[in-house]
Chain A
Amino acid sequence: MLSIKNLRVSINGKEILRGINLEVRPGEVHAIMGPNGTGKSTLASVIAGRDIYDITEGEILFKGKNLLDMAIEERASEGIFLGFQYPVEIPGVSITNFMRTAVNEQRKYRGLDPMPANEFLAKMEEKKQLLEIQAKLANRSVNEGFSGGEKKKNEIFQMAMLEPSLAILDETDSGLDIDALKIVAAGVNKLRKADNAFLVITHYQRLLEYIVPDIVHVLYDGRIVRSGGKELAVELEEKGYEWIKAEIA
Chain B
Amino acid sequence: MTEKELLQAYYRQGDLAILAQVYTPYMSLIYGVCYKYFKHEQRSQDAVMQIFENLIKKLRLHEVDNFKSWLYTFSKNYCLMELRKDKRYQEEALGDYAEEPTSFTWEEQDFVRLEDCISNLNKEQQICIRYFYLEQRCYQDIALITGYDLTKVKSYIQNGKRNLKICMEKK
A binds B: no
